[in-house]
Amino acid sequence: MSEDKLMHVTDAEFESQVLKSDKPVLVDFWASWCGPCLAIAPIVEELAEAYEGKLIVAKMNVDQSPVTPGKYGIRAIPTLIVFKDGQVVEQITGAVGKAVIESAINKALS
């Protein structure tokens, strides 16, 4: 799986890339030292490929961009948030299975 299906966003780009997106956006808030984050990374990449064209999948490194996670009250990682029309529609914390993430994505797409 190539990483090019994933968008990497920073605090500076968050509003333009996520909140103003015309498609739902799944944002994976993660850090390189977080074992569970690394464990779900392949699932997030798979979903980026599976939903290409319908959903944007973005990753935000919380160490490099701490402002946005703070705004959304993220205390634990990995946290996945699905945004639609600039609003949070689903939020998942922890290393969860693919079905849980897909369920959240499908709510945003319906």
Active site amino acids: 34, 37
Q: At 9, list the tokens.
A: 């966003």
Determine whether 52 is exposed, middle or buried from the number of CB atoms within 10 Å of its CB (0-12, 13-18, 19+).
Answer: exposed
Distances (CA, A) of 6 to 60, 71, 75: 10, 22, 23
- Residues 6 or more apart whose CB falls under 8 angstroms from that of 95 comprise 36, 37, 39, 40, 78
